[in-house]
Structures are given as structure tokens and as C-alpha cells.
Amino acid sequence: MATEVMPIPQALAVAPEKRHGRTRWLVITVLAVGWLAGVVWRLWLGHQITHPIAHADEDSYLNAARAIAGGPGGFSSETPLLRRIGYPLLVSPAFLFGLDFVTSYKIVQVVNALISALTLPVAYLLARRMFGLKTWIAIAAAFVSASMPAGVFWSLTGITDSIMAPVLLGWFLAIHWWLTDPHRRIAAIATGALTGALYLIHIRGTILTVVLGALLAWMLFRRRASWGVVGWAALPVAVAVVLNQAVISLVGDKVHLRGDIVGGGTTEILTDGQRLTVLLSSAGTNIWYMCVVTGGLAGIAWAVSALELFRPTRDRAFRGTSAVAVLSTLGVTLAAAVVLAGLLDTRADAIYSRYVQVFVPFWILFGFAVLAGTRLRTRLKYAVLPALILLGGGVVIAYRLDYVAERGNRLGYGAFGGPDFITITGGFSSMRPYVGAAIGLTGLIVFVALVGVRRLMIPLLALVVLANVVTMSVMRDRVIQPLANRYTLPVNLEKIGVGPGDSVAFTPRISNEAYYVLYHDVHWTEFTLLDDDTQPGDFDVVVGRYYPDQKINWDGQRYGYELLLASDKGRFSVWRRR
């Protein structure tokens, strides 16, 4: 074995590392305090948000949660094939006891913060067990992983991504634990249970389930594990599949699905040149994005994972886990690109990284650990792949943007396409691929040059944590707060006499701000969206448009209603039948 590709634990002189009881308790204390700080930080970042800001996915999950809790249902943008009930089931207790929506939403945010902040201890365990980092370096690296904006941002919203990062890290940890001893039944069960949890949370979990199935088949083929142990790993997944369908059946038609079964044109992707271009562009942009926001460390990790398949220098558990991680990342990247290419006819997204952001905390941890265990010459060799991705990706994406603009079109670009990328590049109005490439390359140069200096490792990681905190602070001011303000209205329905027992209808063409806020504030019943402006029926309360300077203003007096409130913000009015 060449010394420059020495396994990580040996390179860092980790094994054996004596652990005194006092040190162990100090580590536990640091992780516990860090977890609590992570919870408080997330709640502070999101305290201005009182209603969903990520439409229509947030609305879909929260409507399902309300229905599970026994309340009224509502719409969902999911499809019958892709519907997953795990996250709504988790947060459904927030909608018990007839609480107003703002209180329920705050409970959801607390649940999100408690789970999302678990990224810290799980990342620490991965850093120690899979990558063999020394204790305090592992803690510092775990803080980097847990503070990555890619994972933190979504924890502020009522969406599946809010809890996926720690579950995914736990999945990789369980796989590595199992592969160290394939005959260990409890490790197989843990792997299957976390796979089942991911399946219940989002359709991405289905892809991870397929990857696990491939791993199980490979272990049986190579006789790494017995049929019995593999069966224990598969059992929790089967339970999760049944549970998902059982809860969906119990909810019944209280939740109305609006999504297309496969998405218009998805099956035509491989035969349509335009859709195929969107597919490849979307997938490639997400690969490039992960390199940018990790300072090239994701690319370092991919290079090592590929090399380990052909020139193994590390143990079997490390190689197996890294292979699973690469397959999972590629699978989700391509599947997300297929969905986007199928759903979008004339306007594609310049970047939509949401589906792959969950992998960012793992790959930045992996990439740092690799650099920490190698010499400069080897680090330079590993840096070739991310450098090519960053440079090539920046040029190709810039060309794509210009090509589309020259033809009078514009690629979609919004706050949820890549909020962390938007913030670090300052691209709040348009995508800046060259800036992104420059940031990624700068980070790559710094990591390659400084990680080998052991006394600089923890200070360097501390600076990355600080950069993450600053990024989230800027994001809070430039992205989160404007969205929170937009979806906050100057109305308390109960204070103006509207509440449980009242039937409610909305007039057509109401503003999005009013629709998406009051939709949830009417928490005691599912409101009716009227077909036209003329016949409000016998509803107790009608929410109408309020454009007094235009003819589309709804006048409830004509139908026997009295005005309770009219608001310029959100352009809505609330009327009660006399």
C-alpha cells in the first residue's frame, strides 16, 4: 500500500485513541449543547415565518397533517404514485385540540428544529466511525456539516426536507455499521428501519430503497450476509410501505390530489430533444451546485469513491458505504431531473437543487475527512475532478443562460431553486455561474492547501461554520424575511368574529397572498372556492377580492353581506351574511 493513500485512521494517527471518562462526558456535553444551540438557532431564523412560504408543497403536507389529526382536509400537489405520508404523520399532533394555525405552525417548526439539529451528533458519529477523525477534529467537522445552509434552510418550513438530512446521515452510518460486520442482525434492522423512514418521508426514499435492494442482492451474491440477516433488513422497509398505504387509506378522500400521475411528458423525455436537454442540464447543474457549496469537497469525495472501486486502499465497509452514497446521489439527481424535464414544457429552471441538498452535509464531511488523511500530492490529484466540474460547469451553465436569453426566453430562477447558492453568489435577481465557479474553486484551493496542516484544521473548520452562520443571516434578511412578510396578513379572523362553526367561501381570482394565508387560517373547515362572482350561496362568510379602484372588486352588499374587514395588503375583504 502506498503511503500517500494510507487509510484515513492511520493517516491521522487515530487508532488507538485513549478516551478517558472525563473526555467522554465533555464530548457528550459539547454535542448536547451544540444540538440545543442548533435548535435555538433554527427557531430564531424562522421565527418571522407564521404561514407556509414554499407553495404548494408546504400547503400539501400541512393539509395532510391536519386531515390525519381529524381536522378538515384540503388539496395536495402530490400524485397517487409519489405520495408519501411520513412527514404529515410526524407533525399531525400539532393540529390537534383545535389550535389556531399560527400556533400549530410554530409547533411544526419546533419539531423540525429538534430533528434537524440532530445532524450534529450523527455527523460526529460518522466522522469518528467511518472516517476515523480524531475527537475534536470530528466535532469541528460535524459542526460544519450541521450548519450547512443546504440543510438548515428547509428546517424553517413545513416540508419533508426539514428532517431528511439527519435521517440520511443516520442511514449512511447504519450501512457502514452493518458492513463492518454483515452478520450483525441489529445493524441490519437499523439499516432497514432508516430506509423505511426515508421511504415514508419522500419519493427520494424510494430511490434509496432501490439502492438498498441492490446492496442486499450484492451481499447475497457475494455471500457477505445470510438470507436471514438480509430478511431482517428488508422487513422494516416492507412495514413502512404498508404503513404508508394504510394511513393514506385512513385519510381517504379528505385530501384532494392535484398532481398528474407521472407528469406531462415524462415518458417522452428520451425521445424529445428539448426535454432530454433539460434533463441533462438539470442533472449536471445539481452536480455542479454540490461542488460549489462544499468548496469542491463533494468532488473530492466522489473522486475517492470512484478510485476505491478500482484501487481499494480502505476497508470494505468504507468502500461499500461510499458506493451506496454515490449511487444514491446519482439516482436522486437523475430522478429529479426526469421529473423536472417531464413537468416543464416551455420554461425550465436555471437551477433547482432542493432534491439533492440533503446530500450536502454528508459530502462535505466526506471530502474534508479525505483531505485530512492524505499528503499534498494526493490532495492535488483528488482535486482534479472537482476543479474540472467547477470550471466546466460554470462555462456550460453560463452558455445555456445566454443561449436561452438570445432567443427571447428566460430560465426559471427563484428563492427555492437554490437558496444557499443564491445567497453566497449574491445572485438574488439572476444566476451568476462564474461567481459560483470562482467561490467553489477558491474554497477548493484553501482546503487543499491548509487541511494538511494539522494545527490549522480546527480553525479552518471554525471559519467555515462562521461562513455558514453569516450565509444564513444574509438569507434570513434577503430571502426568508421578504417571503414571511409577503405571506403575513394584518388580520385575525377570530378577532373580527369569524371562527369555528362558520362556513367559508372564497371568490375567484383572489390574490395568492390572501389565498395561501387565509386557506390555513380557516382551520376549522375546508372552505369552498366559488365558481363565479355572482352567487355566493348561503355561506356564512365570504372572502373576496379587494381592488376598490378596479371593476374586479367584490361587493358583498349586493348579496346581503356586511363588510368586516378590507385590506390593501393581500387585496382581500371579509364579508359576513347579515
Yes or no: say if 291 and 386 are a contact pair by the CB < 8 Å rule: yes
Per-residue confidence in pLDDT tens, the chain, 578 aa = 333 333 444 344 344 455 567 889 999 999 999 999 999 999 999 999 999 999 989 999 999 999 999 999 899 989 888 899 999 999 999 999 889 999 999 999 999 999 999 999 999 999 999 999 999 999 999 999 999 999 999 999 999 999 999 999 999 999 999 999 999 999 999 999 999 999 999 999 999 999 999 999 999 999 999 999 999 999 999 999 999 999 999 999 999 998 755 444 556 676 677 778 888 999 999 999 999 999 999 999 999 999 998 889 899 999 999 999 999 999 999 998 887 776 555 568 899 999 999 999 999 999 999 999 899 999 999 999 999 999 999 999 999 999 999 988 888 899 999 999 999 999 999 999 999 999 999 999 999 999 988 899 999 999 999 999 999 999 999 999 999 999 999 999 999 999 999 999 999 889 999 999 999 999 999 989 998 766 788 899 999 999 877 777 888 998 999 999 999 999 999 999 98
CB 133 within 8 A of CB 87: no
Q: Is 255 helix (H, G, I), strand (E, B) or coil?
A: strand
Q: Determine whether 546 is exposed, middle or buried from the number of CB atoms within 10 Å of its CB (0-12, 13-18, 19+).
A: buried
pTM, two decimal places: 0.93
φ and ψ at residue 545, rounded to 5 degrees? -70, 150
Residues 338, 359 contacting (CB under 8 angstroms): no
The b/e string for 3-15 (b: 16+ C-beta within 10 A; e otherwise) is eebbbbbebbebe
Retrieve residue 492's grid coordinates: 385575525
Question: What are the residues facing 562 on neighbouring strands?
Answer: 576
Task: Give me 577's grid cell.
Answer: 351574511
CB neighbour list of residue 509: distance below 8 Å, 6 or more residues apart: 545, 552
Domain boundaries, the chain: 3-483, 493-577
Q: Which amino acid is at 491?
A: V
CB-based burial of residue 396 (10 Å sphere; 0-12 exposed, 13-18 middle, 19+ buried)?
middle
Q: Where are the alpha helices (DSSP H) in 92-184?
A: 101-116, 119-129, 135-146, 149-152, 161-180
